[in-house]
């Protein structure tokens, strides 16, 4: 069943023995990060810090810190079910051409029948603080890592609209500068940044609202790489099988926020204004360096009575965001197959931090098919940032890293099977010679065909006879082995 809000989710975790209440005083400066890092790396429970040093509200973290908890958060027994439900929806409207496929993508979630629903107010506005009473430093924002530039809001649902009214919700970190300002760290490839460029071109302030804590499906949806123009609250409605209730902001007309959020920050970003933000210990396992980013100006804070501050820390994987990324991987497999039917499965290995490496298994049908897939992937939305693509044959389990690397070693002649390309890169890629673009590597680890110029015999892989396997398995079972 879907959860109505953060409190419902915490209760469900506690019933399952998956929530640890920490009553001892813990500092939001470095200490909560160390707690969370230790817990996620040992598969430990979600954490609710009830006595945060210098703060009046508790801090929840590591709520998505295992595959099982992430599936529970999204209301499914396993993350693969998300993709299966979307695949069923896709199969209801078979497109007739590739152009039809492109046009159908923005309609998919609308077909699910759960568009966001506007309400007059909500629990997120039980307390309203405006003007000088609104204070960003009252939040227990974490100072995550020793070289960070300051305290950061990390698990944010940042709501924006283009000048024409197109909605977007993204997750962007925000460094708290003082009581009323914070950095807005969105990259040039993100929809929030695109909206701001449009407002800036008009020399107008851009209204912004930031929701913290809430229904986990809503929180997750801010991380999903949806096509531009598709409202993330449609995705949240599809996941939770119920419309997301959206309440109008109290100080920023035209913006709406999830009514069940714990805390909402309302404000604006001024055209032409930039301020130095960072460094920040990032999901890459390195610090992202300080740079100039737009500035969020606070106009109001609204929140529930006795709000809970939900947050996340990132760093050397695995971290909590690892499991949010796996949810995206499973959800978007049907969409990838929709565009590229030859794809059997894919995986973002943990070490690749979601943009450094990806494994793809394909049903190879013609010469150089693997290279066609590589260039298609490099042309798709956020997948364009992938630095290393490994393509294997359909029988290879892409979720088994050793199996993929075995086929790379066994099937590749590196004077023949490497594809070098140049294209956009994640702006956090510190190794790129140039900002936001770099070289890419494709590795064709499929079986090579005669039509591809391979003239030597290609041996079969070693596989035991199926009948013998079944017989020995039965014998071992009888012997208790």
> For residues 172 and 156, is the Cβ–Cβ distance under 8 A?
yes
* Residue 100 to residue 50: CA distance in whole angstroms: 52
Q: What's the CA gap between 159 and 358, in Å, rounded?
A: 30
Please report where in the chains the tokens 């794809």 appear, as a residue: 343
Catalytic-residue membership of 135: no
d(CA 213, CA 223): 14
Taking the C-alpha atoms of residue 187 and residue 194, their distance in angstroms, rounded to an integer, is 9
Q: DSSP string covering 444-465, please?
A: E-SPPPGGGT--S--PPPP---
Q: Catalytic residue among 148, 215, 231, 282, which?
A: 282
Angle at 292 between CA 287 and CA 323, to 5 degrees: 40
Element (H, E) at 8: helix 6-15
Where does residue 355 fall: left (phi above 0), alpha (psi -120 to 50 degrees), or beta otherwise? alpha
- Rounded Cα distance between 101 and 376, Å, is 15
Other residues' Cβ atoms within 10 Å of the Cβ of residue 413: 10
| Rg, the chain, Cα only | 24
For 99, how many CA atoms within 13 A lie in the half-sphere containing its CB? 0
Contact (CB, 8 A) for 388 and 356: yes
Q: Are 145 and 165 in contact (CB under 8 A)?
A: no
- Which residues belong to the active site? 282
């Amino acid at each position: 069943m879907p959860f109505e809000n953060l409190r419902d989710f915490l209760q469900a975790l506690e019933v399952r023995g998956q929530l640890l209440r920490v009553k001892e005083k813990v500092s939001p400066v470095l200490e909560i990060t160390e707690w969370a890092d230790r817990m996620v790396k040992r598969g430990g429970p979600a954490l609710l810090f009830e006595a945060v040093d210098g703060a009046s509200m508790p801090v929840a973290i590591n709520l998505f810190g295992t595959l099982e908890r992430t599936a529970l958060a999204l209301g499914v027994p396993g993350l693969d079910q998300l993709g299966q439900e979307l695949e069923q929806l896709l199969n209801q409207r078979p497109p007739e051409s590739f152009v039809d496929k492109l046009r159908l993508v923005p309609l998919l979630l609308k077909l699910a029948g759960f568009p966001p629903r506007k309400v007059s107010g909500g629990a997120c506005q039980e307390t309203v603080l405006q003007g000088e009473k609104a204070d960003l430093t009252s939040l227990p924002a974490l100072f995550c890592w020793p070289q960070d530039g300051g305290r950061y809001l990390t698990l944010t649902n940042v709501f924006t609209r283009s000048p024409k009214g197109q909605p977007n919700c993204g997750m962007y970190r925000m460094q708290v500068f003082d009581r009323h300002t914070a950095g807005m760290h969105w990259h040039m490839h993100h929809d929030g940044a695109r909206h701001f460029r449009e407002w800036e071109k008009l020399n107008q302030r851009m209204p912004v609202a930031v929701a913290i804590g809430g229904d986990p499906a809503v929180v997750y949806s801010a991380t999903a790489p949806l096509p531009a123009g598709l409202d993330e609250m449609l995705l949240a409605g599809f996941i939770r099988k119920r419309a997301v209730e959206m309440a109008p902001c109290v100080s920023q007309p035209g913006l709406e926020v999830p009514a069940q959020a714990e805390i909402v920050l309302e404000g604006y970003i001024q055209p032409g204004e930039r301020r130095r933000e960072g460094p920040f210990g990032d999901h890459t396992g390195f610090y992202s360096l300080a740079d100039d980013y737009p500035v969020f100006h606070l106009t109001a804070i609204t929140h529930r009575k006795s709000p809970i501050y939900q947050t996340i820390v990132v760093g050397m994987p695995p971290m909590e965001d690892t499991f949010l990324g796996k949810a995206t991987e499973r959800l978007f497999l049907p969409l990838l197959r929709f565009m590229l039917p030859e794809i059997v499965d894919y995986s973002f290995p943990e070490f690749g931090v979601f943009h450094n490496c990806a494994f793809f298994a394909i049903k190879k049908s013609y010469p150089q098919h693997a290279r066609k897939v590589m260039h298609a992937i490099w042309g798709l939305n956020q997948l364009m940032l992938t630095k290393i693509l490994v393509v294997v044959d359909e029988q290879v389990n892409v979720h088994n890293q050793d199996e993929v690397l075995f086929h790379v070693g066994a099937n590749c002649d590196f004077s023949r099977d490497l594809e070098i390309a140049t294209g956009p890169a994640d702006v956090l890629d510190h190794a790129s010679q140039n900002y936001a673009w770099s070289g890419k590597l494709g590795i064709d680890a499929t079986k090579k065909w005669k039509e591809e110029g391979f003239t030597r015999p290609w041996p079969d892989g070693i596989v035991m006879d199926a009948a013998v396997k079944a017989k020995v398995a039965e014998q071992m079972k009888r012997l208790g082995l």
